[in-house]
Amino acid sequence: METNIKVRNLNKKYKDFQLKNINFDIPEGSIVGLIGENGAGKTTTIRSILNITNSEGEINIFGKDIKKYEKEIKSKIGVVLDDSFLSEYLTPKKINNIMKSFFNTWNKSEFEKNIKRFNLPENKMIKDFSSGMKMKLKIATAISHEPQILILDEPTSGLDPIVRNEILDIFREYIAKDETRSILISTHITTDLEHISDYIMFIKDGEIMLNLPTSDILENYGIVKCGEDMFKKMDRSDYEYYRKEKYQYEILVNNRSFIKNKYNVSTIDRASIEDLMLFYIKGEK
């Protein structure tokens, strides 16, 4: 499997925050979810990949250095960021005409199809759109020049579940059309990722703490709920984090079947991606 994005030793230092030796690959044909608290480094990572933020390290996209081949690479990427958009006084119809001059691969009919699918008014100014409509328009614009990679920062934030599902369907179709495509999604809405992502990367305080296939997380990770006696019997190497509640301990483990047999535990709850994130942020080692 080829790699569409390769990041090695990515570092960025601010006065009160630092990205620390970020390393990961995004294979073609995959949807990768980047999760973490606000301020953990998700947006800085994405802006570094796009060479918007000048960071140290190696970033290769399609096998080429983003700093040396930025224009060529960006012509094949669809981007949705908070601050990435055109004038609020444009309409979708005018955007369709303008974007033809930006991208040789701009697909006018694809954009029109997406506008209709999202029920967006063709001649209404963007300034009069709701936040959900603006996000749908950003996504319609990002995918209508048929990019090889989509990079999205919080694309479903603030949207109702019905609109979120519409957008997730678009992402599924985008990948299904061409198995060499990839999507990198930064989000704090982890339930969305359980349905569409192939990999989950968790970032905390500027460091990647976990990078695993989504299926591995959902199949293997679990939460043991027990009393103090049971907790004290567990080997430290057998769990990731724990939380002490009023009447019991909750313990995050990464091999449910092994723990169940070793400690004769009758029930181990499955851990969701949200559970995982909460243990990594709030739990103790």
Q: Do 158 and 228 share a domain, yes or no?
A: no
Last residue of a domain, one of 199, 216, 233: 216
Q: Do 116 and 32 share a domain, yes or no?
A: yes
Q: Do 228 and 110 share a domain, yes or no?
A: no
CA distance 124 to 90: 8
pLDDT in the model for residue 85: 67
Q: Do 102 and 200 share a domain, yes or no?
A: yes
Mean pLDDT of 208-223: 96
- Residue 140, Cα to own-chain centre: how many angstroms? 18
Which residue range forms the structural domain that includes residue 253?
221-282
| Mean pLDDT of all residues belonging to the chain | 92
The residue behind tokens 């169940």 is 260
Share of the chain above pLDDT 90, in %: 75
pLDDT in the model for residue 72: 93
Q: Do 156 and 199 share a domain, yes or no?
A: yes
Question: Which of residues 83 and 207 earns the better pLDDT score?
Answer: 207
Q: Is the pLDDT of residue 165 over 90?
A: no
Q: Do 170 and 201 share a domain, yes or no?
A: yes
Q: Do 205 and 227 share a domain, yes or no?
A: no
Q: Do 150 and 105 share a domain, yes or no?
A: yes
Q: Is the pLDDT of residue 104 over 90?
A: no
| pLDDT tens-digit map of 10-66 | 999 999 999 999 999 999 999 999 999 888 999 999 999 999 999 999 999 999 999
Last residue of a domain, one of 162, 189, 216: 216
Mean pLDDT of 232-242: 95
Give how many domains the chain has, as a whole number: 2
Instruction: Work out the pLDDT band at 222, boundaries 50, 70, 90.
Output: very high
Q: Do 201 and 238 share a domain, yes or no?
A: no
Domain CATH number, residue 94 = 3.40.50.300
Q: Is the pLDDT of residue 67 over 70?
A: yes
pLDDT in the model for residue 64: 96
Q: DSSP labels for 83-141?
A: T----TT--HHHHHHHHTTT-TT--HHHHHHHHHHTT--TTS-GGGS-HHHHHHHHHHH
Q: Do 257 and 150 share a domain, yes or no?
A: no
Instruction: Work out the pLDDT band at 84, boundaries 50, 70, 90.
Output: low
Q: DSSP labels for 134-200?
A: HHHHHHHHHHTT--SEEEEESTTTT--HHHHHHHHHHHHHHHHH-TT-EEEEE-S-HHHHHHH-SEE
In the three-class reduction of DSSP (H, G, I as helix; E, B as strand; rest coil), residue 233 is classed as helix
pTM of the shown model: 0.92
Could you tell me if 183 and 174 are in contact, meaning their C-beta atoms sit under 8 angstroms apart?
yes
CA distance 174 to 150: 9
Task: Name the most confidently modeled range: 22-26, 38-42, 169-173, 246-250.
Answer: 22-26
Q: Do 189 and 117 share a domain, yes or no?
A: yes
Last residue of a domain, one of 216, 238, 271: 216
Q: Do 13 and 54 share a domain, yes or no?
A: yes
Which amino acid belongs to residue 258? F
Which amino acid belongs to residue 179? E
